Amino acid sequence: MTVSAPDPVHPPSARLRPASIARRLRGVEAGPLPVLLGLVLLWSFFAWQNEHFLSARNLTNLVLQIAAMGTMSVGIVLVLLLGEIDLSVGAVSGLGAAVMAVLDVQRGLGPGPSILAGVATGASIGLFQGFWFTRFRVPSFVVTLAGLLAWQGALLRVLGSTGTLNIYDPAIDGLTGIFLPPWLGWVFGAACVGIAVSGMAGLARRRARAGLSPLPKRALVWPIAVVAVLVPAVVALLNDDRGVPMALLLLLAFVAGFDGMIRRTRFGRHILAVGGNAEAARRSGIRADAVRVVVFGLSGALAACGGILAASRLLAVNQSSGGGEVLLDAIAAAVIGGTSLFGGRGTVWSALTGALVIGSISNGMDLLALPSSEKFMVTGAALLLAVTIDALAREGRPSRG
């Protein structure tokens, strides 16, 4: 029997040292695995502490709680892929919802035009902020920080002396108040599994047409297996309560749609190129400033969509809409989900997984009746851990010069 010689560079004792573990983290693309493992640990802990955490009713409430945050986080992911930041999304979400509520409740414009006006308000603000920082070379941090203050003032002006507007329109309330019947929920689940199978098959075909080496079978099979197990379990749980909520369909539509845009369109590749190396992208003919302006417009529109979903769930818009921890939760969800703060790396699905982590922490600690101070500290620790892992991974990559 042949005995392998010990590795003189990395002896067994050294492999377990923190420095060795850090070196192994650098340059490794772990994908969504760390955040999914973290989510499993969180759910296991809260289920152990409170038997109601994994109940059908509580998980349905969790889905409703993360719908608005996840939608706003999709826009944050797009901005982070550019290597920029948008600190105004919370205020923009409140202002977009306020415009929608005033037009529907006070002006009687109707739900459709009112919602479109609210989304257009967010998009216009995003385009304006994107133009300002690209035209005058003011850092996006400063421009959107100014926007955070200005749009909060605009929210107070739009609401006027009423302070609070209650929403009674069934179409608007139904965005988070409508649930699919059980049979339609199963149709939705089957469609998700079918999309996953066709997506992986399409990926294999595209690699073959491009002359690339085929992916390992496990890389094709395990995502399908996870979806095939997870989706029916989620549908079954939700059907045990009120059914699959419309809010979940809207969130998944945003995530899947913008993920497809990033991975399969020229504009999506331009976003990644600008975030990876703006100067190289400019020299290759990409209009980097135009890409930035459009992305900030999309971020503003998605922020308004998130604000409208939040208003639908609360059945009201008030002077604190979009305030509090809304902004920080949206940014934390994107980063914890795996999107790099340094630009050019990440997926839109990180908005969903990160929102699940943030929402689970909040929901679970509320069930345990823990104070808000502990909830903020745990969320902050999770964010710091995610950023640290991202920084370690970035150290191991060659410089993009």
Question: Taking 50 as the threshold, does the pLDDT of residue 3 lie above it?
Answer: no
Q: Which two structure tokens, joined as six digits, stand for 186?
A: 């199963």
Of residues 65 and 208, more confidence is placed in 65
Task: For each of the domains in the chain, give its residue range(s) and CATH number, in order of start.
Answer: 32-178+245-383 (1.10.3470), 180-244 (no CATH)
Question: Taking 80 as the threshold, does the pLDDT of residue 102 lie above it?
Answer: yes
For 48, counting Cβ atoms within 10 Å of its Cβ (0-12 exposed, 13-18 middle, 19+ buried), the class is exposed
| pLDDT class of 251 with cuts at 50, 70, 90 | very high
Give the mean pLDDT of the chain. 87
pTM of the model: 0.88
Q: Which two structure tokens, joined as six digits, stand for 42?
A: 């969180």
The residues, ordered by sequence, that sit 6+ positions from 368 with a Cβ below 8 Å of its Cβ are 46, 49, 50
| pLDDT class of 348 with cuts at 50, 70, 90 | very high
Q: How far is CA 209 from the centre of its chain?
A: 32
The residues, ordered by sequence, that sit 6+ positions from 90 with a Cβ below 8 Å of its Cβ are 72, 148, 303, 322, 323, 324, 326, 327, 330
- State what percent of residues in the chain have pLDDT above 70: 90
φ/ψ of residue 241, rounded to 5: -105, -100
CA dist., res. 69 & res. 235, Å (int): 21
- What is the dihedral angle through the alpha carbons of 95, 97, 99, 105, rounded to the nearest 10 degrees? -150
Question: Taking 50 as the threshold, does the pLDDT of residue 16 lie above it?
Answer: no
What average pLDDT does the segment 195-210 reach?
84
